[in-house]
A = this chain, B = another copy of it.
Amino acid sequence: MDRRQQKTRHAVFDAFAHLLERKSYTNITVQDIIDEANIGRSTFYSHFETKDELLKALCSEIFNHVFAQEVFKEKTHDFSKTGNNNIKAEITHILYHLQESSRYIKRILSCESGEMFMRYFKERLTQVFEGELEKQKSDIPTEYMLNHMVCDFAETVRWWMNNERYSPEDISEFFFSTTPFK
């Protein structure tokens, strides 16, 4: 990829994140971002169709980091063998990654953009929990349980981002203490 494109892309992401410190998502205009990023108007539009697309792109970037690498490798490997402790390990692992991106995430979560973040986040989490849930047995509908787990974890993370005095291990502990995982 052309260096100029990378530069622009990063400038926009950075500008966007910085603006989120001062203004709420809805109140940030494309022009604001352009000015803050110090790029031309048409340049912005050659990278992102809309402000929403920009947010989506930023979220993707974050999630590709958060859900990266070994996590998925381990998942495609035989997971059932090693018992249920691995889901806890996996969760903690994800929490560590989230902590690394927390500066971005906190800002995004601080306003309406947070809702979009949560939506994308839940999509990813659904993939993570889907497999894990098959092993559970219950008279409660599986779809309910899946939604429950995903929302539970996502909301835990949102809460955490406003209570950063806790460590990933703490949060993992909290999460599993209210969860019906066996």
Q: Name A's B-contacting residues (CB within 8 A).
A: 112, 115, 138, 140-141, 143-145, 147-148, 151-152, 155-156, 159, 163, 173-174, 177-180
| A147 near B174: Cβ-Cβ < 8 Å | no
> Could you tell me the distance between the alpha carbons of A155 and B158 in the complex, rounded to whole angstroms?
14
Candidates B112, B143, B174; contact of A144 at CB < 8 Å: B174
> Could you tell me the distance between the alpha carbons of A163 and B179 in the complex, rounded to whole angstroms?
22
- A148 proximity list for chain B (CB < 8 A): 152, 155-156, 159, 178
Q: Nearest-CB distance from A179 to chain B (Å)?
A: 8
Query: Can you list 25 A-B pairs with a CB-CB distance of less than 8 A?
Result: A112-B115, A115-B115, A140-B173, A140-B174, A140-B177, A140-B178, A143-B159, A143-B163, A144-B156, A144-B159, A144-B163, A144-B174, A145-B178, A147-B155, A148-B152, A148-B155, A148-B159, A151-B151, A151-B155, A152-B152, A152-B155, A155-B155, A177-B180, A178-B179, A178-B180
- A144 proximity list for chain B (CB < 8 A): 156, 159, 163, 174
- A151 proximity list for chain B (CB < 8 A): 151-152, 155
- A140 proximity list for chain B (CB < 8 A): 173-174, 177-178
> Could you tell me the distance between the alpha carbons of A150 and B163 in the complex, rounded to whole angstroms?
17
- Most B C-beta atoms less than 10 A away, residue of A140, A151, A177, A178: A178
> Could you tell me the distance between the alpha carbons of A139 and B112 in the complex, rounded to whole angstroms?
32
Q: Nearest-CB distance from A125 to chain B (Å)?
A: 13
- A173 proximity list for chain B (CB < 8 A): 140
> Could you tell me the distance between the alpha carbons of A155 and B140 in the complex, rounded to whole angstroms?
16
Closest chain B residue to A155 by CB distance?
A: B151
Other than the given A151-B151, A177-B180, A178-B179, 8 more pairs (CB < 8 A) read A140-B173, A140-B174, A141-B174, A144-B156, A144-B159, A144-B174, A148-B159, A148-B178
